[in-house]
Amino acid sequence: MSAQHLFYLERAAEARATADAATLDNVRDRWLRSEASWIEMAVRSERSETMRAKLIAEKAAERAMLQATSQAEASPDTEAKEFAGL
């Protein structure tokens, strides 16, 4: 979890605690809406982190495959020499 994700969860917990301590219904409702918003931001943050990590892994795999392909194409002389027994 990132610091941003943890920050959102901490703010949600604070909003819940404040809502629980509120004596007025409208104040409690406002803090509960705040909690819901913080939780939604935490979910979005986590989803973004997951997608970012997936994209980074995919790009690394693609880069490795391209590098392996270019190395194989760059050394046909080596294969020809091995085939010729040299």
Q: Over the stretch 21-77, which tens digit does the pLDDT of each residue have?
A: 999 999 999 999 999 999 999 999 999 999 999 999 999 999 999 988 888 777 666
Contact assessment for residue 32 and residue 19, using Cβ atoms and an 8 Å cutoff: yes
pLDDT higher than 80, residue 78: no
Rounded to whole angstroms, the Cα distance separating 54 from 23 reads: 46
The ranges assigned to domains in the chain are: 3-84
**Residue found by looking up tokens 């409208």 in the block:** 26
Q: Which residues contact 39 (CB under 8 A, 6 or more apart)?
A: 8, 9, 12
**Residue found by looking up tokens 């819940």 in the block:** 16
